[in-house]
A = this chain, B = another copy of it.
Amino acid sequence: MKKIEILDSTLRDGAQGEGISFSVQDKLHICHELDELGVTYIEAGNPGSNPKDMEFFKAAAAVQFKNAQVCAFGSTRRKNCKCEDDANLKSLLSAETKTVVIFGKSWTFQVTDILKTTPEENLKMIRESCEYLVANGRKVIYDAEHFFTAYEEDKDYALETLKAAVEGGATVLCLCETKGGFMIDECRRAVAEVVKLYGKKVTVGIHTHNDCGLAVANSLVAVKEGATHVQGVLLGFGERTGNANLSTIIPNLQIKMGYQVIPEESMTNLTAICKRVAELTNIRVNPQSPYVGKDAFAHKAGMHIDAVLKNPFAYEHITPETVGNTRVFLMSEVAGRSMILEKIRRFVPDVKRNDPIVSDLMTKVKELESAGYQFEGADGSFELLVKKMLGQYKPFFKLHYYQTTGSNPRPEEGVCCCAQIKVEVDGNFEITAGEGDGPVNALDIALRKALEKFYPVVSNFRLVDYKVRVLDSKSATAARVRVIIESTDGQSSWTTVGVSSDVIEASWIALVDSFELKLSK
């Protein structure tokens, strides 16, 4: 089986998508997910363009990944200067990644009208930049920006730029369909010619955009013509209509076309990994997304359901479990049970497959999930749920009421919100109040104050992350929201979840889970 290497650019090209921005922590979390998936390269940012990316590369250098190599991205040197004086190339080196990706211009129009230099100087920029990076011990992936347009408009020059990169020592020539405007056959022809010319010397790659809805198709066609390196973004987001969607390309290549792309066991994690990356990006996986969307194996037509019940092969192109997804109309007893079982075994190692707790928990999880809960990003709440259903949990406090008040203009400087709560612990009552930045902060302060009296350990942990996701956003301000809170005691961390149409209530539920979980340990 021919091996195809994947470069994921979620953190670089994907970050060009509308509304997408990552913190350094988000980036590190996403790297772990991509590494688990088994991609070859993670293109993680442009150290020359912003200080946050440089901070990330420092942090990433300390991490050992199983499969993936983290790469820094940048451009060829500026015109008319030396590589060693080029600030961008220097930043690229200081990111200290084994492999770097640099892009250069293939298209004469871009050279003369955008860069405003000569075609000859551009060739030197490409060759010398590659040479400089190679001389500094880097493996170079060369991205030929606008290659397909260039090939169409001035083929000879386009091929010369590739030659410059190969001569400079690049080990991957990645052909970029930057504008996303090319049809399948044009794409195929250009890739075929490059593979014929350079396929024996270097790895040929493909990088596409979805402006004509063909990013996936053009990537597959390129592979058929001999490209063995595919760039894209796991969930397909990115500037304009997005980058090539790797969550579609990877299973197409491996399951349908017989290439070796990621480890077999990662394939069955594909859907879960996509969900977690979406969560970290604060977006949803498109429900209609091939393979990994929640509707990808959802059957609605009566006739289809009938047929699928007789034989799933009647209306399913693959078994959903192959990519870790599930068939939706069915109760999915078999698949669901194994998953739940595995989770329960973390707390009760010897639980039997047919223990009633398994079915009960499955029913409960389904009920909560259809109400908007999601436990993938909230292991703490899930653990608490299991403990409660196993009868291994005793409540640490009882809430009598909470009340929040917010007003504008603010009554006093610095106070925008107050909360009052009443809790009961072993027959003792505690009524506390808190003021905070917003009602949720005020509630957190009041609850902490009340519980500290009974459980001093409460002062040892704190909330470190707070995420809000609107679920059915079409109901606008009446929409249900899901709040996910991450807490830490400095050693371990746990996440909890709450759902309600009231953002305060949702936050309260997650907050209480966080306190209860910690106290139960």
Contacts and interface: CB of A to CB of B under 8 A. Distances in A.
Contacts of A260: none
A155 interface: no
A290 B485 contact: no
Interface in A269-302: 282, 284, 286-291, 293, 295-301
A224 B184 CA distance: 11
B401 A407 contact: yes
A464 interface: yes
Given A18-B300, A214-B252, 13 more contacts: A17-B300, A19-B469, A185-B224, A214-B220, A239-B298, A239-B299, A401-B408, A403-B408, A408-B508, A438-B501, A444-B476, A464-B476, A466-B477
Interface string A223-266: 01000000000001101111001001101100011000000000
Interface stretch (A31-39, A124-132, A307-315, A452-460): A307-315
A247 to B, nearest CB: 9
A91 interface: no
Contacts of A172: none
A313 B181 CA distance: 11
A17 to B, nearest CB: 7
Contacts of A330: 18
A212 B404 contact: no
A503 interface: yes
Given A18-B330, A407-B402, A470-B468, A441 B114 contact: no
Q: Pick the 8 closest A-B CB pairs, nearest first.
A: A181-B317, A463-B476, A217-B217, A438-B502, A437-B501, A213-B248, A468-B468, A213-B216
Given A257-B183, A436-B477, A502-B438, A293 B468 contact: no
B503 A290 contact: no
A440 interface: yes
Contacts of A135: none
B290 A211 contact: yes
A462 interface: yes
A500 interface: yes
Say which size band chain A's interface belongs to. Answer: 35 or more
B439 A463 contact: no
A446 B507 CA distance: 24
A237 B316 contact: no
A180 interface: yes
B478 A437 contact: yes
A478 B214 CA distance: 37
Interface string A412-445: 0000110000000000000000001111110110
13 contacts: A16-B304, A212-B252, A212-B291, A241-B289, A282-B469, A401-B407, A402-B408, A403-B408, A438-B505, A439-B503, A465-B473, A468-B481, A468-B503
A159 interface: no
Interface in A96-155: 109-110, 113-114
Contact of A287 (B18, B406, B407): B18
Contacts of A481: 438, 468
A385 interface: no
Contacts of A239: 298-301, 304
Nearest to A404: B406
A504 B439 contact: yes
Nearest to A177: B317
A434 to B, nearest CB: 11
A90 interface: no
A440 B402 contact: no
A479 interface: yes
B16 A240 contact: no
A221 interface: yes
Interface string A370-402: 000010110000000000000000000001011
Nearest to A484: B19
A315 B146 CA distance: 9
A490 interface: no
A474 interface: yes
